[in-house]
Each structure stands twice: as C-alpha cells, then as structure tokens.
Amino acid sequence: MKRNEFLRAGGILAASAFFSPNSLLAATRAKKEKLGIALVGLGYYSTDLLAPALKLTNNCELKGIVTGTPSKIEKWQQKYGIVDKNIYNYQNYEQIANNPDIDIIYVVLPPSMHREFTIRGAGTGKHIFCEKPMAPSVADCQAMIDACNKNKVSLAIGYRCQHDPNIQQMMKIAKERPFGKPRMINSAAGYFDNRTTHWKQNKALGGGVMGDMGVYALQGARLATGEEPISVIAQASTTRPEIYKEVEETMMFQLEFPSGARAACQTSFGINMNHLQVNYEKGWLKMEPQSAYNGINGSTSDGKIIKIQIENQQAKQMDEDSLALLNGNALIAPGEEGMRDIKVVEAIYKSVATGREVKI
C-alpha cells in the first residue's frame, strides 16, 4: 500500500482500534529482549537526539513513528528501516494497540499536547515515555498518571539528567550529607534562543522558559537538597518583547526548603548559563555545566572530581527505563516525579502574577 493510502486508511480504522482489549493484549504480550519504541513527533529532539541514541541502546529499539507530516516518512524509513505498518499519523494513532512490534510510545510533542497523547497512548495498552516538562498544569499531570494507572501501563518522564551518574552522585551527597545540611543553592540553566516561531514562544503550546530550561534550574535545587520546596517567590522579565510577546524570556525564582535551605534559581532564553553551586554546612559542590548533553563537570570542597563519562545521556535514559519495564522494577523518574516539578512551576507563575511569596 502506498504511504498516502496507508495514512488515509488508518484513519478509518482508528475508532475500532480504540476499543481494543488492552488487558488481554498485555497478558498475552510475548517476553522480549528489546522493547520497541514509537516516537510521536519528529521535531529536533526526536530527529537529532532520540533516534540516533536508539542506535546505541541494548534494551530498546526504534520500531515506529507517529507524525503529522507525511513528507518526513520516506527519509525516516530509509535511515532507520521502519516498515509501513509501523507508521502512524495523529488520527490513526490508536491503531498502535494492535501492533506487537511497539511496546513503548514516546511522546515528543509540545507540552500542551502531552496530556492528550499520553492518555490516548495509555488507552492502547502501551507503556508511555513523555518528554519534559510533563505538562502545563498539575491537573494535566494527574490526568496522565490516572490514565496510565487505569490502563495498567507505566509512565516515565524524559529526565535524562536523573540517569546521568554525575547527577546521581550529587543526589547521593544530598542523601548521605557528608558535608552536613545544604544551606544555599545557586542553580542556573539557559541559552540564547533567536527563534521567533517555535512552540517555546507560544503560550498555547506550553511555551515560556519555565517549560524548557526552567525545569533544569528547578531540578538542580530539588535534587541538590533531596527535598521539596515549601515556598517560592519569582520574577519574570523579557528583553525582546518582539519575540517573547506571550511568555517570559527569563525567570528568576527563590525557593525555601523544609530544612531551611534556600535556592536562588535563574533560567533564560536570552542568557547562556549552565551551573550549580551547593554550599553545605561544612563544604561545597560545584557543577558547570550541570545539564549539558555532552557531559557534566563537577567538584567538591574535599578535592573530589565528579566527571564520569557516558556515551549518550538519551540512550542511557531509554535503556534504563526499558530495562526497568522488562524486569518489573521501579522507574527512575515516573509521572509523579514530573508532577512535583509542575507543582512548583504553577506556584512560580502564581508568584509572578501576584508579586508575592507563594506556599507550595
């Protein structure tokens, strides 16, 4: 069948596929050595990072794509050998329920679309990976978690940094406290973005810097303390209103934690910055960069270097999440972890709107 005929025919069958008996499919699913992944959305992150990373994985492999742009299909088939029956569009998406090649749906769309495609994906009986940020609101996050629980599938958020051994070393220090309690954290993540029509500049699509780099600045503080913040006060600003008409370009926010620790966080689409410093009672930890694709570089006040090299962060993330699914183990960053960040993000925007400190 030609590709355009295949895509049209898929839409006719989508409604019947939606009612597939997911529990029966899950019960009869054969044990696999590698789980098949379908990427939903073929933008930059899928094209330049996730798909190449899937060539390096041991526990999962690229088996399908879901796209709203038919012109992309031929290139992906030639490069990754994806067969016609594993290609879907946004209308016939539910047909994945009947495809044994695909075990995981990876949602790589603008944040405003995460809720819809996670809920629809959970209805197919497939496990869900969802890119960060999880969704624009806590209500969206909870709906996604509920849908995955209802359909007895797992939900992992694409926090590649939590799979990085350097960040895990920082988290170990937060747990074991060899330098005592954390007192002050400075966490920054940003880059200069000159685009004008990307979803990151579009409020309706979940844009704004807190929906992208802001999560790294926030996670730096959360993971460094091992605690959840109890209050925040925030300030938003824009230096290029001709580009950032609807959303903030830069956000600064200050967090308070239960232990008394404080964090000063900065994130921006107009400033290049990527660093973390944690001052404890009896020492310090520094990371610069703290969230780069090509490696994390850190040190501590007792002379230790934190610079463990890994081949590919995205490959490690997908491999470890897939292995957890194969073995029935807990995920490193489940949906509940994604929702913790969004609770703080909502409080940040409320603080900006009111000009006051907001309890979380």
For 159-196, how does the pLDDT look when each residue is reduced to its tens digit (9 = 90+)? Answer: 999 999 999 999 999 999 999 999 999 999 999 999 99
Q: Which of 93, 216, 280, 349 is catalytic?
A: 216
pLDDT of residue 15: 38
The greatest distance separating any two alpha carbons of the chain, rounded to the nearest whole angstrom, comes to 68
H or E element that contains 268:
strand 262-268
pLDDT of residue 219: 97
pLDDT of residue 155: 98
Are 183 and 281 in contact, with CB atoms under 8 Å apart? yes
pLDDT of residue 30: 57
Encoded tokens for 152: 């007895």
Helix runs in 226-334, H state only: 313-327
Domain locations along the chain: 3-160, 165-308+336-359
Q: Coil, strand or helix: which one is 125?
A: coil
The residue count for the chain: 360
Domain spanning 165-308+336-359: CATH 3.30.2310.20: no
Q: Which residues pair with 275 in a beta bridge?
A: 188
Q: Which residues pair with 192 in a beta bridge?
A: 270
Q: Which of 63, 88, 126, 132 is catalytic?
A: 132
Q: Which residues pair with 263 in a beta bridge?
A: 185, 255
Alpha-carbon distance of 161 to 166, in angstroms, equals: 8
Helical pair 335-354 and 213-225, crossing angle rounded to 10 deg: 110
Instruction: Pick one of 1.10.3720.10, 3.60.15.10, 3.40.50.720, 3.40.720.10 as the CATH number of 3-160.
Output: 3.40.50.720
Alpha-carbon distance of 208 to 345, in angstroms, equals: 11
Positions in the chain short of pLDDT 70: 1-30
Alpha-carbon distance of 157 to 142, in angstroms, equals: 13
Encoded tokens for 334: 């489940």
Question: Which pTM was predicted?
Answer: 0.91
Same fold, 3-160 and 165-308+336-359: no
Q: What angle do CA 279, 280, 285 make, to 5 degrees?
A: 55
In the annotation, is 55 catalytic? no
Alpha-carbon distance of 210 to 84, in angstroms, equals: 38
Encoded tokens for 79: 């490069």
Alpha-carbon distance of 360 to 348, in angstroms, equals: 9
In the annotation, is 90 catalytic? no
